[in-house]
Homo-oligomer: A and B are copies of this chain.
Amino acid sequence: MAGPSVTSRALALLGAFDSDHRSLSLSDLARRANIPLATAHRLVGELHRWGALARSADGSYVIGRRIWQLGLLAPEQTGLRQAASPFMHDLYGATLATVHLAVRDGLQVLYVERLAGHVSVPVVSRVGSRLPMHATGVGKVLLAHAPDDVLAAALQNLTRVTAYTVTQPARLLDQLRRVRAEGYATTGEEMSLGACSVAVPVRAGADVVASLGIVVPDLRRQLPRLVSALRVAAQGIGRTMSGVAAAPPGVPG
């Protein structure tokens, strides 16, 4: 029995939306956010009036324009995407593989951008979605460069996704040591069968701010070529990011 603050309840309502629940009725919202219907009614009304929520044709609620607009102002995401976009296109051109850009979000990887080819390996990522770190290439890179407490916490919960997922802490630690030493991480069908991946860190200055990765059906033979292509792109992104900080707030084109 907690003492729920008004704000946290409003946020809980927004948090009720996810990629599997883009549209929710008032009752759904109340249920998912654990809020009495009458209270939810009022809060949802306020959110709707402000534009955080919109009503779809059938009367149910969806995320509104205002939130979408705000989201575009998020510098970590939007800035990163803009800086990375051209390099990711180059990388796609060079490899014809699905290209991923991700950052660490707590104990998970958050996909910031994704470039998928027409004929692509089965990949479960989506822009804005999160996946466990230990089962993805970009995740291993980010974990390898994460603070100790994050690493410790992540090791507690190495959930199995496929038969090849690394679930032994010792084995993962060993891999992560290698990632730091070699400068890239790989996976082999650890997240979804038929999909292998390579990823490298994106550095702005000394910090690892993101990870760039590609997904291919098999990487045995071409690994060196892929790693070097990834490195070129990642360096380009990093350089752009560092430059962006000093650039003017945005000259209208």
Cα of A8 to Cα of B51 in the assembled complex, Å: 11
Q: What interface size band does chain A fall in?
A: 35 or more
Enumerate A57-113 residues with CB–CB distance to B below 8 Å. 62-78, 98, 105, 110
The answer to whether B67 and A71 have CB atoms under 8 Å apart is: yes
B50 touches A76 (CB 8 A): no
Q: Which of B23, B63, B73 contacts A22 (CB 8 A)?
A: B73
B76 touches A70 (CB 8 A): no
**In this assembly, does A127 line the interface, its C-beta being within 8 Å of a C-beta of chain B?**
yes
Selected from B54, B72, B252, the residue in CB contact (under 8 A) with A128 is B72
- Point out the residue from B23, B78, B126 that lies within 8 Å of A252, measured CB to CB: B126
* Min distance, Cβ A29 to any Cβ of chain B, angstroms: 14
Known: A8-B50, A65-B105, A77-B65. A252 touches B71 (CB 8 A): no
Q: Enumerate chain B residues within 8 angstroms of A126, measured Cβ to Cβ.
A: 250, 252
Alpha-carbon gap, A192 to B124, bound state (A) = 44
- How far is it, in angstroms, between the C-alpha of A19 and the C-alpha of B54 when the chains are bound? 22
Q: How far is the CB of A65 from chain B (nearest CB, A)?
A: 6
Q: Check if B75 sits within 8 Å of A110, measured CB to CB.
A: no
**What is the bound-complex CA distance between A54 and B23, given in angstroms?**
26
Q: Would you give the shortest CB distance from A243 to chain B, in whole angstroms?
A: 16
A26 within 8 A of B: no
Contact in complex: A249, B62 (CB < 8 Å): no
* CB pair A74 B46 closer than 8 Å: no
A60 → chain B closest CB, angstroms: 11
State the A residues within 8 Å of B (CB). Answer: 5-8, 10-11, 14-15, 17-20, 22-23, 43, 46-47, 50, 52, 54, 56, 62-78, 98, 105, 110, 116, 120, 122-124, 126-128, 249-250, 252-253
Q: Name the 8 nearest CB pairs between A and B, nearest first.
A: A71-B71, A72-B128, A6-B6, A68-B74, A68-B71, A63-B74, A7-B46, A68-B77
